[in-house]
């Protein structure tokens, strides 16, 4: 079990963070296609976990999750989560011909979407994906996007784009096993949303600490008051515990260890609740400015709520650990 990044992984995180700091805009409701292509072409974020024989960079799932944590920190919309889940589902459930045909497209930056069933709601990036895959009890299917009925689904956090997707599977191509694809998608989705939550929580805490140094009350920066120091120290502890849980689960799922499922459940539950708590404290410690549309605190709060529900609410993952 690993709780630290290698030098190469630290460089990857720093590179993604630097590019996003210069280019990302968390206030837009849909992802920036130019930014996404830059991330794919200059850093290869879509190709990180895809094997070289399928046009990928040949790293592991963990490197993809390192990049995803930085995307979470930026709060910017990105199709990486949807494409990552789709590529992992294909690796787990699709036949060789489908892998050879679809994975290079995802590695190059095309947006992928995985729908659970022919009539599916809450499909990540399902309304604009160009690689559309449907998993059912009868198998894994490739669906031509133009043949599906796809519609954007309004949600609290519109930067995580959801859609309703209805597919006619009689016109689709069966490419593999649906159960294996579903199982892998659920496991990867859990650790991926945990990574996003850690990134978002880090952004929230950074915002709060910076504000506490600037906001003056009674002639002193509010960050100098002991009570607020203690609250922010507690938030830092929660964040570091969440990051440890996320990295441990990410390594386990990437390597396929025996305890990967349990660690993924723990990480999803803990990281979701840690982010929700830190987001709430971010609003409280910013005071009145945090409830204005102009401040980014509402973006943090909405992202925490969305990630808490995506790929299973915390209580469902705790229940799975108890089984």
Contacts of 296 (CB under 8 A, 6+ apart): 26, 27, 75, 207
pLDDT of 37 above 70: yes
Judge contact between 89 and 72, C-beta under 8 A: no
Give the pLDDT score at 274: 98
Q: Return the half-sphere exposure (C-beta side, CA atoms, 13 A cut-off) of residue 11.
A: 4
pLDDT of residue 310: 96
Per residue in 267-320, pLDDT (tens digit) is: 999 999 999 999 999 999 998 888 888 889 999 999 999 999 999 999 999 999
1 has a pLDDT exceeding 60: no
Percent of the chain, pLDDT > 90? 89
Q: What is the pLDDT of residue 75?
A: 93
- Kindly report the number of other CB atoms within 10 A of residue 139's CB atom: 18
pLDDT band at 30 (very low <50, low <70, confident <90, very high): confident
Residue 78: predicted pLDDT:
94
For 157-203, the pLDDT digits (tens) are: 888 999 999 999 999 999 999 999 999 999 999 999 999 999 999 99
Q: Which residues contact 144 (CB under 8 A, 6 or more apart)?
A: 132, 171, 172
CA distance readout (Å), 111 to 66, 108, 132, 240: 19, 9, 9, 32
Cα–Cα dist 227/109, whole Å: 47
Average of per-residue pLDDT values in the chain: 95
Nearest to 190 by CA among 54, 96, 75, 84: 84
Nearest to 179 by CA among 219, 207, 148, 137: 137
- Round the CA-based radius of gyration of the chain to a whole number and report it: 20
Q: What DSSP state is assigned to residue 149?
A: E
User: Measured between alpha carbons, how far is residue 93 from residues 67, 78, 136, 159, 301 in Å?
Assistant: 24, 25, 11, 29, 35
Q: Which CATH class is domain 180-322?
A: mainly alpha
- More confidently predicted of 31 and 270: 270
DSSP-based three-state secondary structure for 128: coil
What secondary structure letter does DSSP report for 50? S
Sign of CA dihedral 163, 143, 106, 275: positive
Q: Tell me the three state secondary structure of residue 113.
A: strand
């Amino acid at each position: 079990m690993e709780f630290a990044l290698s030098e190469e992984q630290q460089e990857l995180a720093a590179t993604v963070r630097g590019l996003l700091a210069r280019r990302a805009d968390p206030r837009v409701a849909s992802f920036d296609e130019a930014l996404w292509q830059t991330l794919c072409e200059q850093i290869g974020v879509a190709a990180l976990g895809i094997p070289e024989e399928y046009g990928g960079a040949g790293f592991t799932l963990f490197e993809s999750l390192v990049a995803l944590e930085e995307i979470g920190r930026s709060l910017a919309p990105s199709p990486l989560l949807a494409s990552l889940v789709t590529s992992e589902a294909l690796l787990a459930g699709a036949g060789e011909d489908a892998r050879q045909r679809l994975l290079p497209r995802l590695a190059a930056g095309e947006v992928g979407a995985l729908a659970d069933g022919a009539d599916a709601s809450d499909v990540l990036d399902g309304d604009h994906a160009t690689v559309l895959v449907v998993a059912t009890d009868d198998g894994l299917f490739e669906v031509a996007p133009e043949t599906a009925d796809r519609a954007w689904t309004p949600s609290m956090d519109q930067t995580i784009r959801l859609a309703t997707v209805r597919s006619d599977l009689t016109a689709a191509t069966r490419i593999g096993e649906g159960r294996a694809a579903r199982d892998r998608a659920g496991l990867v989705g859990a650790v991926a949303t945990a990574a996003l939550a850690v990134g978002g929580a880090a952004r929230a805490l950074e915002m709060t600490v910076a504000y506490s140094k600037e906001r003056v009350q009674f002639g002193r920066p509010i960050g100098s008051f002991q009570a607020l120091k203690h609250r922010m120290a507690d938030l830092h502890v929660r964040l570091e515990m969440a990051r440890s849980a996320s990295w441990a689960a990410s390594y386990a799922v990437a390597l396929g260890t025996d305890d990967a499922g349990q660690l993924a459940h723990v990480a999803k539950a803990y990281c979701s609740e840690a982010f929700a708590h830190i987001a709430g404290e971010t609003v409280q410690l910013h005071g009145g400015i945090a409830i204005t549309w102009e401040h980014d605190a509402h973006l943090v709060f909405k992202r925490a709520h969305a990630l808490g529900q995506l790929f299973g609410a915390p209580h469902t993952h705790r229940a799975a650990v108890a089984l």
